[in-house]
Structures are given as C-alpha cells and as structure tokens.
Amino acid sequence: MTRTRALFDLPDGVTYLDGNSLGPLPKAARDRVARTVTDEWGTQLIGGWNEVGWMDQPARLGDRIAPLIGAATGSVVVGETLSIRMFQCLAAALSLRPDRHMILSDTGNFPSDLYVAQGLISTLGQPHSLCTVAPQDVEAALGPHVAVLMLTEVDYRTGRRHDMARLTRAAHDAGAVVIWDLAHSTGAVPVDLTACGAEFAAGCTYKYLNGGPGAPAFLYARPDVSGDIAPVLAGWLGHAAPFAFDPAFAPAPGVARFRVGTPPVLQMAALEAALDVFDTVDISDLHARACALADRLAAGFQRACPDLRRLTPRAPEARGSQISFTHPDGYALVQALISQGVIGDFRAPDILRFGIAPLYNTQADIDTAIEAFAHIIANRLWDDPAYRRRKAVT
Ligand SMILES: *Cc1c(COP(=O)(O)O)cnc(C)c1O
C-alpha cells in the first residue's frame, strides 16, 4: 500500500489504470474547489482577483510545476490548453529562425500537435512545411533546413520515450530550435529542461498531475529566449500592464507574455491542491515503481493471453509510465475489462493502454487487473457484440 494512495478519492470496486488520460480526484482538490467557490467567489466576488491571488495563479502554479520538469523559477506559466500552448511554442520557435522553414516531428506525435503545426503552416504559407519521420529516424532527418524540432517525449500510444538530452543536442548542433511536449512525462518521469537546454516545452496537467478534467496546460520558455519573443496570441493578460488598457501590445517580461486571457480560477484551484502531493515524492522513485508494476502487469496479461504483443520498451530510460499492447480484439478486451471494474483505455487501431501511477496504484491493483484479465480470456467474456460497439471517447 503506498502512502499517497489515501490522498485520492478512488471509487470502491474500481481498479484505475487510466491516470495517463485523466488522473483521479485528489481529496485536497475536492476540498479546495469547494472552498474557492464558497469562501472566495461566494464572498469576495470580484475582489478575489486581488485579495486571494487569483490573478497570480498562472505564475504561482508555474513555479510549482517548474521543479517537476527541471525548470527554473519564473520560467513556466499555467493556463490555456496544451493544443494552444503548442501553437504558441511553434510560432515562437519559428520566429527565432526566420531563414528556415521546416518543422520536423515524428509519426509518434499526438495528432493535435501535428494539426496545430499544419494550421500554423497554412497561415504562414510557402515555403513553410511539416516533415514527420519515424521516431527512430529523427536524428538523421535533422539538417540545415530544419527550423524547429517538435517532439512529444513519451509516445501516447506505445509509451516509448525519446532521449531528450541527446535529441536536443543534435537539433542544436544542426541549428534548430527545440520544443518538447511533456504531456505524458510531467509527474511521471524525471525531466530536466535546464540540463537539456530546449528552448520551449509545454504539457497538460490533467494526466499524471491529477489537475482534473479540463485542467489548464503549462508553457516553459528558456529564460534567455522568452524576452525575444513577440507572442502571436497576444492577449491582454500577456501585456506588461493589462490594466493600463493600452491599445498597443507591449509584452510582459519573460514567460508571462505567453498568458492570453482570464485564468480558469476553479480549475487552477483544483490543480494547485493536486500539486501538493508532489512536494512529498521523488519522480525518479515513482518512475522506477511504475516500471516494476507495468512489467508485473505485462507478465500476467501475456501469461493469460500469449497473443498480446507488448509495445512498451523494457529499458527504464526508454519508457514512460504506461504499458501498452496490441491485439486484434483490443477494443473488446478493454471494454470487457472495464465491465469488470478495471479501467484502461484503447487507442486505434488495436492498442490496449494502461496507465500506471504509483501515487495511487499498488501491486494489489495490478494483481486485480491480472486476475480480471485471465478470467475474461478463460471464459471468452470479451467475445460479446456489446463490447465491440465503439463509444465516442475510447
Ligand atoms: C493529451 C495530449 C494533448 C492534449 O491536448 P489538449 O489541448 O489538452 O486537449 C496534446 N498533446 C499530447 C502529446 C497529449 O498527450
């Protein structure tokens, strides 16, 4: 039993292996949101912006996330969604290399990141382009034409993890600016942005940070470059003096210029409370435990079902905090597991995915999942038309 599990509200009878999509409810977040609603919004009304620090949340929470990703104080700002953050990072990165026009990414990247790149390119027009190569071919594809290397560290489908330090160095050697998407890294694997030297990074907070559905994203800009950026999404709260209501934009110092509009105060309150648990844990330790639990699950599942093909690498430095498999009946298998109270998820076309978060997942969870899976296989419970009907969110 891990010490921190008691800090989460987990429903009885549920084995939750989907914290890589949406972390569970921290009890502290439930209480903090209730207090923010009643004691702050309910009594302070508009005074909350000044009196209880709502306006400072984006910077204050950025400083709480910074140590989890090896970033300096003052280099991270919270708000918006990850898709918007990637757009901001890309536009900023391209502006640092005006004489180059190619964005390089890989086929393991999350679609939204690639869509954002495509949208930005169509706005900028020729000769900008997006090039995606297989994850193992990224380094070889770098060259004097690449303006920006944009990658997600941990592949959301397979759990494969890039070597951030090595690829950042290679990209810098080729003269490119580097952006890391840390969606499946933050709170799950050790990240050291300062050591790797990437110019930009962004991530979401509703996955391993347990900030709640729709929790805001974060953006990191290396302290020596943020001052050179003219933000493309220049919103009033990124202005140096928003309440001067100056018709002309003048950027706030540093990363604060990437703020856009009014922060989601209730979501920020939930996130702020959710971050407390990270003050008491070591991410390297969490990741080591996640690898051991994931391997235990893999061994048990593959014993029950030898057709299950493991996708997630074995070396700790090459994997995130999930375990993924392929199987032709993957969707039905996941649905059958969910009906038994074991919640994982499915990613097209045939991937079964289980997030492992040792903040609350224990060996007992893994053993429960293995037992349920073996039962489903032995009794062909997955072979039911009800489990083949696709829901909107898989
Ligand atoms: C989850 C995820 C996103 C989601 O972006 P939102 O704007 O928060 O919906 C983007 N990129 C990656 C790599 C992700 O894993």
State if residue 201 touches ligand 1 by the CB under 6 angstroms criterion: no
The pLDDT assigned to 371 comes to 98
pLDDT band at residue 391, thresholds of 50, 70 and 90?
Answer: confident
CATH code for the domain defined by 29-279: 3.40.640.10
The pLDDT assigned to 2 comes to 77
Q: Summarize pLDDT for 116-160 with one digit per residue, the tens.
A: 999 999 999 989 999 999 999 999 999 999 999 999 999 999 999
The rounded Å distance from CA 283 to ligand 1 centre is: 21
H/E segment holding residue 326: strand 322-326
Instruction: Provide the pairing of β-strand 102-106 with 25-26.
Output: unpaired
pTM as predicted: 0.97
- Show me where the domains of the chain are located: 29-279, 282-388
- What ligand 1 atom has the least distance to the C-alpha of 156? 15
Instruction: Check pLDDT > 90 for residue 390.
Output: no
State if residue 114 touches ligand 1 by the CB under 6 angstroms criterion: no
- What ligand 1 atom has the least distance to the C-alpha of 184? 15
State if residue 181 touches ligand 1 by the CB under 6 angstroms criterion: yes
Instruction: Check pLDDT > 70 for residue 1.
Output: no
Mean pLDDT of the region 366-387: 96
State if residue 156 touches ligand 1 by the CB under 6 angstroms criterion: yes
Query: Which residues face 1 on adjacent strands?
Result: none
Q: Rounded distance, CA 210 to CA 206, Å?
A: 5
The pLDDT assigned to 161 comes to 98
Q: Rounded distance, CA 211 to CA 100, Å?
A: 37
The pLDDT assigned to 30 comes to 98
Instruction: Check pLDDT > 70 for residue 182.
Output: yes
The mean pLDDT of the chain is 97
Q: Summarize pLDDT for 41-80 with one digit per residue, the tens.
A: 999 999 999 999 999 999 999 999 999 999 999 999 999 9
Tokens at 216, concatenated: 């805001």
State if residue 152 touches ligand 1 by the CB under 6 angstroms criterion: yes
The rounded Å distance from CA 116 to ligand 1 centre is: 11
Q: Summarize pLDDT for 247-278 with one digit per residue, the tens.
A: 999 999 999 999 999 999 999 999 999 999 99
pLDDT band at residue 389, thresholds of 50, 70 and 90?
Answer: confident
Structure-token match 């930009």, residue found: 200
Mean pLDDT of the region 326-344: 97
The rounded Å distance from CA 335 to ligand 1 centre is: 23
The rounded Å distance from CA 362 to ligand 1 centre is: 26
Instruction: Check pLDDT > 60 for residue 377.
Output: yes
Q: Which residues of 285-297 are buried (b: 16+ CB within 10 A; e: fewer)?
A: ebbebbbebbbbb
CATH architecture of 282-388: Alpha-Beta Complex (3.90)
- What ligand 1 atom has the least distance to the C-alpha of 181? 13
Residue from 20, 80, 83 whose mutation best tests the ligand 1 pocket (most atoms within 8 A of CB): 83
